[in-house]
Amino acid sequence: MTARIETQRREAEELFLKLPLPGASDGNFLPLEGVRLPERKPQAVPAGCFSPLSEDDEAPGIPDEWRSDKFALHALARWSLGASARITGTPARPLRVERAVEAGAFRSIHSADAGSTGAIVEELTGLGEGETVTGVMELHAKEDARVTYVLFQNLHRESDFFLRVRIVAEAGAEVTFLPVFTGGGRGQLRLDTWCRGNGSHVKVRGLARGRGRQQFDFWLNTHHTEPRGRSQTEFRFVMDDASKAVFNGLVEITARAQDTDAGQRCRALLLGPQASVRAVPKLLIATDQVKCGHGASVSTVNPEQIHYLQSRGISRARAEEMIVAGFMGEFLSGLGEPRMAEALGVEPEEEP
């Protein structure tokens, strides 16, 4: 595996050096003034960095969607911290990857064997004020696998992050991806999910909690290339103070992917007077034998709700927390991660 990844690293370095930082003309919504990607030169893959994977897990080349992506190429070329999780059979507990991230780049390669059922939890903490990190994460769910993948981003509030996630679901596979974002000062997530097998199913249910002057830029692309695929993408934002977020969602359905059922939705709750969320949902459909939809809504806290709760002896802070928890609703259930609930600003559920 090391030799193949090193070949990919060298190609990524060549492409990275040729590309400028993206700008508004590239469809980029995130202001990039002052962003400086770490200059750490690529090194050989550290021994034991990845756990053993089967031959078909190894990346044969750079995915097309990353070949013109400056930040993805930076991570592929210059990562120094790597990890992987492989689901075989039915493990009783989630496989955990906990990273204390440093400025630079990191990489994850995850997989689920055919017919396996399990969960992977990846947590990102660390960085310092003014530092920047790039990262690429891949999950390959093979035939009839059932996978839940949780990504918890809780980096330093004054740092920059540029993360890329690629999920591939083969025939009959079901993947649930749960990204939870609370940290970082300015950052971007670009997610590409591929329903690449007949009857594959991908569900994305994301949560983002913005405070201060945080800026989140989410690009969520779902690609259907085979018949009878299903996908549902829903992101919920709770934005306070002067925090800002962009939901840029795309569902692409090829002519071959007939009988596809796909949807995307963005819901936002604004708590601060200068908070904002911009929703840009898009559909790109090459066949009429599909069921597809999208929607977005942005709302503020109803003062009457706050008044009602305060009249019953509940403090304003606690009343707001209750409203936020209600807005996040079922997205919170099933996480089983108290630190995530606390970072989102709600009380964690008590274990029975």
pLDDT at residue number 344: 77
CB 171 within 8 A of CB 202: no
Q: Given pLDDT bands bounded at 50, 70 and 90, which one contains residue 83?
A: confident
Closest CA relative to residue 105, chosen from 87, 79, 74: 79
Contact 151, 166 (CB under 8 A): no
Q: What is the number of residues in the chain? A: 352
| pLDDT (0 to 100) of residue 19 | 85
- What is the torsion angle, in degrees rounded to the nearest 10, for the CA atoms of residue 16, residue 21, residue 26 and residue 27? 120
| pLDDT in the model for residue 59 | 56
Strand partners, 180: 152, 207
- CB–CB of 268/299 below 8 Å? yes
pLDDT bin (cut points 50, 70, 90) of residue 53 is very low
Q: In the predicted model, is pLDDT for residue 47 greater than 50?
A: no
Q: What is the mean pLDDT of residues 183-198?
A: 95
Q: Give CA–CA dist 171/197, Å, rounded.
A: 4
Measured distance CA(92)–CA(295) in Å, rounded: 37
DSSP output for 38-100: --PPP-PPPTT-S----GGGS--S--GGGTT-HHHHHHHHH--EEEEEEE-S--SS-EEEEEE
Mean pLDDT of 200-212: 95
Give domain limits for the chain: 2-300, 307-352
Residue type at 243 in one-letter notation = S
- In order of 92, 93, 295, 336, the CA distances from 339 in angstroms are 21, 17, 30, 9
Tens of pLDDT, residue by residue over 121-168, are 999 998 888 889 999 999 999 999 999 999 999 999 889 999 999 999
Higher pLDDT, 92 or 31: 92
Q: Give the model's pLDDT for residue 185.
A: 92
> Chain-wide mean pLDDT for the chain?
86
Higher-confidence residue: 326 or 229?
229
